[in-house]
Structure 1
Amino acid sequence: MIHYYRIFDLVISTPFVCSELIEAIPQQADVVIDYGHIANDLSIIEKQKLKWQVNKNQVLLKIPDAGKYLIENGETITIEPEENTSLDIIKLFLLGSALGAIQHQRQRLTLHASAFTKCDHTILLCGQSGAGKSTTANALIQQGFQLLSDDLAVIDFLDGDAFVTPAYPQSKLWQDAAEKLSIEYKNFHRVRDELDKYRIPINNNFCNRPKKITHIINLQLSDIELAKINSLTVFEQLGVLKIHSYRKKYFTLEQAQGNFQACAALVDLVPVTQITRPQLTNSLKQVAELIIQQLT
């Protein structure tokens, strides 16, 4: 049986159930996902490392304990799982790296960022892993914001504006972050069995339509006592977007050039500001207040 879902404003078809995604009416899929045999190497290789190979139209991922994923032409993903790989692990890399590569092939700007919205404000929150993107987004959801995307923000340009497309109604939180937010996590699945990180459903606080981006904030850790907000030069803003472009190591030369142009276009439309927060103390309330202050 084939299942249909909508994610990043694309209809995908899969041979397995993805209960975390939003169902779509059966139709011609933009991206077809299926199981199949995958050769160990691409016939043409432009760039490669031990776990991946790329060329203009293909990305091959070789993920230990998960399997191989072949992403082609922005339209198909073939999966060859390793023996005894769980469906949760298959979907973990499908909904991240594989669908991220699809966006690259479709020449869509894709950032490693959380996205959330309230009224006329839609925020992209960038930051290195551990900076607190998902934790901050969930704190703001508790204050009436809606989630658009937890980890991967796909951006389209339309009529002189930039829009972020919805992913799916789920956030991933480390146990200590869930405890800080008083979120009951024990009944939810772990992202991976060996990690104290949980899949938190956001069913009642999810926005399922593209939203115009009004603010971009880079969240950074530092050895300071109080969180603070700083403006950035245009060059620094562009650097933030380039640094946080999703899986940029997979870029071909043409995709890297397109990414630079898209980052420049986004900075021109929506300036990037920076919030620096203390590294060793709980500054969640401070950061949330600074973000809301930016909106008002």
Structure 2
Amino acid sequence: MAVRQNKYSVFGLVIESELALPELLPGAGEADVRIVCGKVPAALAKPAVRTPWYEVATGQYLLKVDGIACYHVADGSVITIEPHPAAQTEDIRVFLFSSVFAALLQQREYLVLHGSAVVIAGKGVVLAGHSGSGKTAIALALYDRDCHFITDEFCAISKQNGKKVVYPGLPELHVWQDTLDKENREVSAYQPIRRGLKKYAVPIDDRFCAEAVELSNIVLLTHHKRDKVDWRLIEGGAKFEILLHNSYQPDVAKTMADKARQFQLYTAVATTNISQLTFNEQPYKAGEIANFLLKEVDR
């Protein structure tokens, strides 16, 4: 019997999947990527990167998540998933939508940054930074201030018709319970992204950008202990450092991409306005930082 095929749209791609992916928007047209269920390799031949959890070779990515699934990504076009017999489907999707999709995009030579993205004053703005820097909390606060939402966790950037664009991801934010508590949101109104994990999916229904948005600004979020907010424009070679240091899965990206084309894309993205926003996370709430950003980006 034929396996049911579902079509979805995410990161500017049409996904044809044997696995139902209810978090994604419906897609139509010829598929760019196929997701199938089946056996994956036990290991990659001659990997450039090998860890206990994942392996990377030219055009291949293998991820093993105990008790959940093994995932194999090939040539930016096929994802094979071998689920663990006892795995919950929502757990399988969590890793698919994060590390696996990021590797797929890197195989397709997107620049993938660790960050969230929103639209401020008609401009595509990436909030970059490492875990705990406040990206998702500030993106949620900006959404509450009528900004349109593009993506959370990582941002896929490429050139489209000569312009740098950031592509829409899942129409939801993944928010830790402490952030929901600080923003006076009722946790019971949201579903956890995984059982037992206090991180919740906040759906974005009314202000989600379903199309790519031209990239205007990248804001690096960092912290300090002083009771002030610092805003600094980054110039010259420091822009490249920020892009490199905030690359999502950098060891994967280095192995996947054609070096010349990767340099061209980094060079193009480095012409974007890149700023560093430094604040003390104790006195300053996400809403106050969001208000600051609304003023600075709109100048």
TM-score > 0.5, shorter chain as reference: yes
State the partner residue of 2:26: 23
The answer to whether the Cα contact below 8 Å between 1:185 and 1:200 also exists between their aligned partners in 2 is no
CA separation of 1:255 and 1:192: change in aligned 2, threshold 3 A: same
The Cα of 1:118 is off from its aligned counterpart by 4.0
The answer to whether the Cα contact below 8 Å between 2:106 and 2:256 also exists between their aligned partners in 1 is no
Pairwise CA RMSD:
1.7
**Alignment-mate amino acid for residue 112 of structure 2:** T
State the partner residue of 1:83: 85
How many angstroms apart in 2 are the aligned matches of 1:156 and 1:253? 18
State the partner residue of 1:10: 13
How many angstroms apart in 2 are the aligned matches of 1:177 and 1:12? 32
How many angstroms apart in 2 are the aligned matches of 1:136 and 1:143? 11
How many angstroms apart in 2 are the aligned matches of 1:125 and 1:223? 20
**Alignment-mate amino acid for residue 167 of structure 2:** T
Summarize deviations over 1:55-81 as a string: whole Å, max 9, x none: 111111112232210000100000011
Q: Higher mean Cα deviation, 74-83 or 274-283?
A: 274-283
**Alignment-mate amino acid for residue 160 of structure 2:** L
Is 1:116–2:101 an aligned residue pair?
no
State the partner residue of 1:140: 142
1:49 to 21, 28, 51: 51
1:94 to 96, 111, 114: 96
State the partner residue of 1:68: 70
2:204 to 199, 202, 205: 202
Is 1:131–2:133 an aligned residue pair?
yes
CA separation of 1:2 and 1:193: change in aligned 2, threshold 3 A: same
Summarize deviations over 1:211-269 as a string: whole Å, max 9, x none: 1111110011111212221122322221111111111121344627344442222012x
Q: Counterparts of 1:265-280 in structure 2 under 5 Å?
A: 265-268=268-271, 270-280=272-282
2:191 is paired with a residue whose SS is: coil
State the partner residue of 1:184: 186
Q: Counterparts of 1:111-260 in structure 2 under 5 Å?
A: 111-253=113-255, 255=257, 257=259, 258-260=261-263
Q: Higher mean Cα deviation, 140-149 or 185-194?
A: 185-194
CA separation of 1:82 and 1:214: change in aligned 2, threshold 3 A: same
- Can you give the 5+ residue segments of structure 2 that lack an aligned partner in the other structure? none
How many angstroms apart in 2 are the aligned matches of 1:256 and 1:280? 42
Q: Higher mean Cα deviation, 115-124 or 80-89?
A: 115-124
The answer to whether the Cα contact below 8 Å between 1:54 and 1:252 also exists between their aligned partners in 2 is no
CA separation of 1:122 and 1:87: change in aligned 2, threshold 3 A: same
The answer to whether the Cα contact below 8 Å between 1:114 and 1:152 also exists between their aligned partners in 2 is yes
The answer to whether the Cα contact below 8 Å between 1:229 and 1:273 also exists between their aligned partners in 2 is yes
How many angstroms apart in 1 are the aligned matches of 2:154 and 2:41? 28
TM-score between both structures, scaled by the size of structure 1:
0.94
The Cα of 1:291 is off from its aligned counterpart by 0.8
1:130 is paired with a residue whose SS is: coil
The answer to whether the Cα contact below 8 Å between 1:56 and 1:252 also exists between their aligned partners in 2 is no
Q: Higher mean Cα deviation, 186-195 or 2-11?
A: 186-195
What fraction of aligned residue pairs are identical, expressed as a percent?
26
Q: Higher mean Cα deviation, 85-94 or 182-191?
A: 182-191
- Can you give the 5+ residue segments of structure 1 that lack an aligned partner in the other structure? none
Could you list the structure 1 runs, at least 4 aligned residues long, displaced by more than 4 angstroms after superposition. Answer: none
